Homo-oligomer: A and B are copies of this chain.
Amino acid sequence: VIEPAGDLLRERSLRRTRRRLRMIEVLRAARRPLTARELREQLGERNVDLATVYRTLERFVAASLASRVQLGDGTARYEMAGRSHHHHLVCTKCGAVESLATCQVGPLEDLALREHGFRVARHSLEFFGTCQGCNPKRP
């Protein structure tokens, strides 16, 4: 049961515009985090200003509707939040991005607190390498 995009917006007191509903649609359909530019292209509307896309995405992030992720190149990418915590497998050959559901960094966060007095709020873990399709086959 997926919550209607309109409800997501209303719950957060964000205005429900066609543009925003469509942005949520696109983000949901994406099987990998999108840059602002990619998102705009997939909107399939004309005259969409990147400034608006950025502003809206930041709105979404602030409302915990989306989250911003960094995948190694300096470019910001966005994906719907709410999915369970996961990490990214970034293929350095073809650029594909997959998700890794498992996360075992809890113990490291404890360690950060014990050894450095550092209180971890959030972490990000990305893997770089080659995906199945790009790996050399062994006959």
Interface residues of A (CB under 8 A from B): 70, 72, 74-76, 87, 89, 91-92, 98, 100, 102-105, 107-109, 111-112, 115-132, 135
Query: Given A74-B74, A98-B118, A121-B92, A112–B127 Cβ distance below 8 Å?
Result: yes
Number of this chain's copies in the assembly equals 2
Q: Which residues of B contact A130 (CB under 8 A)?
A: 118-119, 121
Q: Are A72 and B124 in contact (CB under 8 A)?
A: yes
* In the complex, residue of chain B having the shortest beta-carbon distance to the beta carbon of A91: B118
Query: Given A72-B70, A135-B117, A109–B122 Cβ distance below 8 Å?
Result: no
- Kindly provide the distance from the CB of A134 to the nearest chain B CB, expressed in whole angstroms: 9
Q: Which residues of B contact A72 (CB under 8 A)?
A: 70, 124
**Complex Cα gap A10–B86 (Å):** 43
Q: Are A124 and B121 in contact (CB under 8 A)?
A: no
**Complex Cα gap A23–B98 (Å):** 37
